[in-house]
Amino acid sequence: MSLILRSSCAVACLGILFSCLSVGIAAERSLVKIAVYPPQVKLKTAKDLQTIVVQAFYADGITEDITSQTEFRLEGTPCVRIEGNVLRPQQDGEAKLTCNFSGQSASIPVNVVAAAEPRPVSFKLDVMPVFMRTGCNTGSCHGAARGKDGFNLSLFGFDPDGDHYRITREQLGRRINLAVPAASMLIEKGVGKVPHTGGKCFDVDSVYFKDLVEWVENKCPQDPKDIPYCDSLAVYPVQSVLDGAGTTQQLTVLAHYSDGTERDVTHLALFQSSNDNSATVDKTTGAVTAANRGEAFIMARFATHTVGAQFIVLPKGLVYEPSTEKPVNYVDELVLDKLKKLRLNPSEVCSDEVFVRRIYIDMIGLVPSAEEYEQFVADPDPEKRAKLIDRLLERKEFTEMWVSKWAEWLMMRSVANRVSYKSVLLYYNWLAERIADNVPLDQLVQELLTSNGGTFSEPATNYYEVERDTLKVAENVAQTFMGMQIQCAQCHNHPFDRWTQNDYYNFAAFFSQIGRKQAEDVRESIIFNSGGGEVRHPVTGQNAVPVFLGGAQPDVRGQDRRKVMAKWLASPENPFFAENFVNRIWHHYFGIGIVDPVDDVRVSNPATNPELLKELARRFTESGYDYRQLIREICNSNTYQRTTVRNESNTTDETNFSHQSARRIKAESLLDIISQVTSTKDKFRGLPLGARAVQIADGATSNYFLTTFGRATRETVCACEVKMEPSLSQALHLLNGDTVNTKIRQGGLVKQFADAKLPADEVISRLYISCLSRRPTEAELTKLRPLFAEGNDYSQACEDIFWALLNSREFLFNH
């Protein structure tokens, strides 16, 4: 049997005219294919339904919502009736839904069971989602810690059993009216019939009203313990490229349940745009509307799940000539692919002078010496950049740079009456040895997290002394090694990510049996596996069971739970591990992560280039977690070597790596570079005179310059501890403070120039090369030569130029 229906029941003539006009516009492009969403339809009971969305794909990359222009053909059992673009059960059976548009077609299977059976309203599956959808259980309403107007709901519905009790048992006869369900205060406030601080939440003809009334009519039943739960969520289409402001694309959201059933929950999902400037979403219907050029991720949340769809918005009729640049490696290929989608062209590759300064600062936290600069610039070898990268990767300063970063992630700092300076120094040296030896990252992390013994004899154990609180340790492990902030889930389900309270406490259970005792030396502690101790869930009151974040429940009987956890954490089984570290490394070389902030990875903060992130992680894993190889691949790419100068197409791009970014030099490296170019030495606690700031082991050791320029105190694992934003206090210190002025005078470089009576041009050139790794332009020489005119103080002229260069944006920033 074949049944053909049009997706619109509008007046025939008007529909034909509209359809012809749309096809005419589409015909100007080359239609490649169409796709139907969801990829299959499974309906169960008479109450079920499914919204269908049809999307067209054109050769120029543009997509279009063509649902209203599509012809639907149902083949097989007439198991559904088609109402617009909505399928409703008609009888049990199977069929195929074929969608036709402009000579293209696509089909999806349709399956219907129990079409004549009613589905009773469930508290957890129907009522609780209404509270979420209408905002009743958010932190600004009844989900607040103290509730609202005497009524309390669990925040984002993390405790449905408690919510059921509060609705049905508290203030009997007020919130629920079993005699006249529609007159229940719970419902009358929702429809605005009686005063409600939150205002009107839904209409009397809405599905929300009908479900609530039916639930009360059924005597407010509690769900059985084995009721199916939503175990995953999908949104369709996952990617759209919209042509011009005002263009729309409908989304459909599908919930998958533990019993294998599926349900269209578009009307119950919460929608949010990551960038309203580019795309807005109708929070009632899930329809997305294009605004200004750019990219947005539309998030859909239902139950404990959040999923996202990518939207790229282009100006109407944009004329685009893609770059003909050939990629150097896979990094360039994936970045260029994304830029083509956005109709952006990359900036040019930077000059040798820019590159040599940039790579030295990024790799070893120093600028090239005059000799290194001259040698590199004069070298005609076309492979000189790759060879320089290889040489810098072997420098001890490279190791020191990354030990310093790890020290921030691991919160290496002395803590009164707990972590001594000796412990910190031993901990730092342990880490330095492993990074210098290029120990694979998975081995390093597993050794760290499974460490037992004395904090002197086994320095890695200091990880469990810096932070002793079991829950904090779990949070730190998730944030440092997976880039995830799970703190919110301690009190309630995470509002913007997948993590629930159960996930939080089950992961914390891995760290509940860490034992500590004092060694003979009162400054040393001994860390061991106690074999006992549990984490109690605050809602259920039960002991939490160790479960991997987003993974399985392992057998930990008779084992050190940390060893079980660490083996999974730093392995290919855990996709978050590799992606986290490649993202952190990428951030170091670009000033922004593929996911940014780097330690706030969540569904609602997606990667700007997920394909790039996954490929970097895949190769990193296949290399045996060799971070030097990863850095080599990144730095050899054109993407890293681009200029910071923007072109007409990428002027507003901040997240897609079409150009390099000017990044203020990190506090430790900036002080080291100032000392380097002024030929002066610094003294820090526990280190010899002349040691670099980047070598400081203890986060509690600092000075005024480092503090002013945002050095991390290492009190938390948060990447936000490192302050990179310029400030007025920084500018004032450079201009008037003792760091720059004193070092210029102490260094003796000016005296050398004066004693040798060097010509003005040579002095200026030497200072420019030393500070900026470039020669001065003729215009700059012309402006500065008068400072050395006869009668002027030669030494003062040198100091003034030196001071000006050290205070310049070009010196303070890596570009």
For 364, list phi and psi in degrees, rounded to 5.
Answer: -125, 0
pLDDT of 684-703, one tens digit each?
998 999 999 999 999 999 99
> Counting beta carbons within 10 angstroms of the beta carbon of residue 253, is it exposed (0 to 12), middle (13 to 18) or buried (19 or more)?
buried
pLDDT tens-digit series, residues 784-805 = 999 999 889 999 999 999 999 9
Residue 173: per-residue pLDDT: 67
Give residue-wise pLDDT tens across range 758-772.
999 999 999 999 999
- What's the Rg (C-alpha) of the chain? 32
Per-residue pLDDT tens for 448-496? 999 999 999 999 999 999 999 999 999 999 999 999 999 988 887 777 7
Joined together, the tokens standing for residue 392 give 């810098």
Q: How confident is the model at residue 808 (pLDDT cuts 50, 70, 90)?
A: very high
More confidently predicted of 663 and 2: 663
CA distance linking residue 165 with residue 695, whole number of Å: 58
pLDDT for res 495:
73
Closest CA to 123 of 225, 35, 46, 29: 225
Residues contacting residue 471 through CB under 8 Å, at least 6 positions apart: 490, 508, 535
pLDDT digits (tens, 9 = 90+) for 637-670: 999 999 999 999 999 999 999 999 999 999 999 9
CA distances from 625 to 384, 510, 550, 594 (A): 26, 24, 22, 19
The model's confidence at residue 29, banded by pLDDT at 50, 70 and 90, is confident
Say if residue 303's pLDDT is above 50. yes
The gap between the terminal CA atoms of the chain, to the nearest Å, is: 68
Q: Which amino acid is at 2?
A: S
pLDDT range class, residue 363, cuts 50, 70, 90: very high
Report the pLDDT averaged over residues 267-294.
94
Supply the DSSP symbol for 456.
Answer: T
3 state DSSP class of 185:
helix
Is residue 67 within 8 Å of 85, Cβ to Cβ?
A: yes
Which tens digits make up the pLDDT trace of 740-789?
A: 999 999 998 999 998 988 999 999 999 999 999 999 999 999 999 999 99
Span 523-581, pLDDT tens digits: 999 999 999 999 999 988 999 999 999 889 999 999 999 999 999 999 999 989 999 99
Domains of the chain: 2-113 (2.60.40.1080), 123-217 (no CATH), 230-314 (2.60.40.1080), 352-394 (no CATH), 440-569 (no CATH), 748-814 (no CATH)
Mean pLDDT for 51-69 is 96
Residue 116's pLDDT is what? 93
Phi, psi (rounded to 5 degrees) for 661: -110, 145
Nearest to residue 252, comparing CAs of 282, 275, 285? 285
- In order of 24, 101, 290, 302, 790, the CA distances from 21 in angstroms are 5, 13, 21, 38, 80
Lowest mean pLDDT among 188-202, 401-415, 610-624: 188-202
Would you place residue 5 in the very low, low, confident or very high pLDDT band (cuts 50, 70, 90)? very low
Amino acid 514: pLDDT = 97
The per-residue pLDDT of the chain, averaged, comes to 92
* Full-model pTM: 0.89
DSSP string over 503-541? HHHHHHGGGTTEEEEE-SSTT-EEEEE-S----B-TTT-
Per-residue pLDDT, 17: 28
Kindly indicate the confidence band of residue 12, based on its pLDDT and cuts at 50, 70 and 90.
very low
Are 239 and 249 within 8 A, CB to CB?
A: no
pLDDT band at 28 (very low <50, low <70, confident <90, very high): low
With bands split at pLDDT 50, 70 and 90, how would you rate the model's confidence at 26? very low
Range name among 152-161, 452-461, 691-700, 723-732 with the lowest pLDDT average = 152-161
With a cut of 60, say whether residue 70 has pLDDT above it. yes
What DSSP assignment string belongs to 219-242? T-PPPPTT---EEEEEEE-SEEEE
DSSP state letter for 605:
B
| pLDDT at residue 2 in the model | 43
